[in-house]
């Protein structure tokens, strides 16, 4: 029989209590280091979520940021399920918001911040930070930009507002430029932000007009036929008449690229889901999904021509990285509009 002294028992009890105390602390504090900052927590959660096959989630966060900030400013209104409760009129129900994703990850970040005692971080700040971190990961650390916290959460979310304000994929060049100008963005910034289409996916309904012979905008014939065949096959594979396709032809398989006549010169086709200037190279070949992408090639404005920026970014990745960083920082700083604001306890509903 093994005997323990009173001193040993007391020491063991103290150790157990100390371990329990450490378990309740943030990892950094438990290691004796500094407490993890809000920014570090967001970066950690986003990075973990995007490991492996989660890169598509990063693209969803970038899109989610644009769809939030473009409507009433950066106020996290797109995260609300419905306002008022049960009416079904929230921004999530907007036609222009079809296929939005990333909501669960924002919930996870909010929950982790609350667990660590950070209860006064707005959902709008979380979304802006998450999109920035996703952008850095998608670009392999090439795209980084500074942003400040301090945003507040709105209490209004309207599907009709989102459909009235967000530019659909069928917009013509003048409509696109006018839409961006209303938000204080230049033609060059319009073209720069369009480069986000280098990653992510799109539903067929967003580019069906490009495949319909009665509505199609000029599109490379080989690419159109390859896309038609692929979407038909995906209807069966995905079990829906509105399947998703990868935005970037660079990310399609070799057979598709060959059938579409894609020229991959200057493009790293060994990478998938990377945020780079390959979108511009594909656009200059007229091998892009959306009409709004194609429209950038056809700007007749001599003062601020989208085609000039398109060609510039296609030939210089470094110039696009700078332009995209600046435009994303500007987008993230669009001032919230609304009757009142709060710091939401739950990003999906008002307090």
- Whichever domain contains 114, its CATH number is 1.10.520.10
Is pLDDT above 80 for 58? yes
Indicate if 184 and 113 belong to the same structural domain. Answer: no
Show binding-site residues for heme b: 197
Examine the residue annotation and report whether 230 is marked as an active-site residue of this protein. no
Show binding-site residues: 68, 71, 73, 75, 77, 91, 167, 197, 253, 276
Show binding-site residues for Ca(2+): 68, 71, 73, 75, 77, 91, 253, 276
Q: How many domains does the chain have?
A: 2
Query: Please, which pLDDT band fits residue 110 given cuts at 50, 70 and 90?
Result: very high
Residue 23 lies in a domain: no
Q: Are 157 and 91 in contact (CB under 8 A)?
A: yes
Over residues 46-67, the mean pLDDT reads: 93
For residue 139, which of 193, 194, 199 has the smallest C-alpha distance?
A: 199
- The per-residue pLDDT for range 177-210, each reduced to its tens digit, is 999 999 999 999 999 999 999 999 999 999 999 8
Over residues 23-31, the mean pLDDT reads: 45
Residue 50 lies in a domain: yes
Indicate if 65 and 157 belong to the same structural domain. Answer: yes
Indicate if 69 and 200 belong to the same structural domain. Answer: no
Residue 16 to residues 11, 19, 234, Cα–Cα distance (Å):
9, 5, 56
Indicate if 179 and 257 belong to the same structural domain. Answer: yes
- The per-residue pLDDT for range 121-161, each reduced to its tens digit, is 999 999 999 999 999 999 999 999 999 999 999 999 999 99
Active-site residue, from 63, 67, 210, 281: 67
In terms of residue numbers, what domain contains 189?
173-330
* 307: its two tokens: 């085609």
Indicate if 71 and 213 belong to the same structural domain. Answer: no
What is this structure's pTM? Answer: 0.88
**Residue 214 CB partners (closer than 8 Å, separation 6+):** none
Give the angle 335-341-342 at the CA atoms, nearest 5°: 120
pLDDT at residue 11, rounded to an integer: 33
């Amino acid at each position: 029989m093994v005997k323990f002294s009173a001193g040993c028992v007391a020491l063991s009890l103290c150790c157990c209590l100390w371990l329990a105390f450490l378990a309740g602390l943030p990892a950094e504090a438990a290691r004796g280091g500094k407490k993890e900052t809000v920014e570090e927590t967001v970066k950690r959660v986003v990075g973990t979520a995007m490991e492996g096959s989660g890169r598509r989630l990063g693209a969803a966060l970038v899109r989610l940021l644009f769809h939030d900030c473009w409507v009433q400013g950066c106020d996290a209104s797109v995260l609300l399920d419905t306002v008022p409760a049960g009416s079904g009129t929230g921004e999530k129900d907007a036609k222009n918001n079809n296929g939005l994703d990333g909501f669960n990850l924002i919930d996870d970040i909010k929950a982790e911040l609350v667990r660590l005692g950070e209860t006064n971080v707005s959902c709008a700040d979380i979304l802006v930070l998450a999109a920035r971190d996703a952008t850095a990961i998608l670009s392999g650390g090439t795209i980084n930009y500074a942003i400040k916290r301090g945003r507040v959460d709105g209490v209004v979310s309207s599907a009709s507002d989102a459909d009235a304000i967000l530019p659909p994929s069928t917009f013509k060049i003048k409509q696109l430029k006018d839409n961006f100008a209303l938000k204080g963005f230049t033609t060059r910034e319009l073209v720069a932000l369009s480069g986000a289409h280098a990653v992510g996916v799109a539903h067929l309904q967003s580019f069906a007009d490009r495949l319909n012979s009665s509505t199609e905008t000029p599109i490379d014939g080989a690419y159109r036929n390859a896309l038609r065949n692929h979407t038909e096959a995906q209807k069966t594979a995905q079990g829906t008449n509105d399947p998703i396709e990868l935005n970037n032809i660079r990310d399609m398989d070799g057979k598709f690229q060959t059938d579409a006549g894609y020229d991959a010169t200057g493009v790293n086709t060994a990478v998938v889901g990377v945020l780079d200037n390959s979108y511009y190279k594909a656009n200059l070949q007229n091998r892009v999904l959306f009409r709004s992408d194609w429209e950038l090639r056809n700007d007749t404005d001599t003062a601020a021509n989208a085609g000039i920026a398109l060609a510039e970014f296609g030939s210089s990745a470094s110039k696009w990285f700078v332009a995209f960083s600046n435009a994303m920082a500007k987008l993230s700083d669009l001032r919230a509009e609304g009757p009142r604001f709060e710091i939401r306890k739950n990003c999906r509903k008002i307090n």
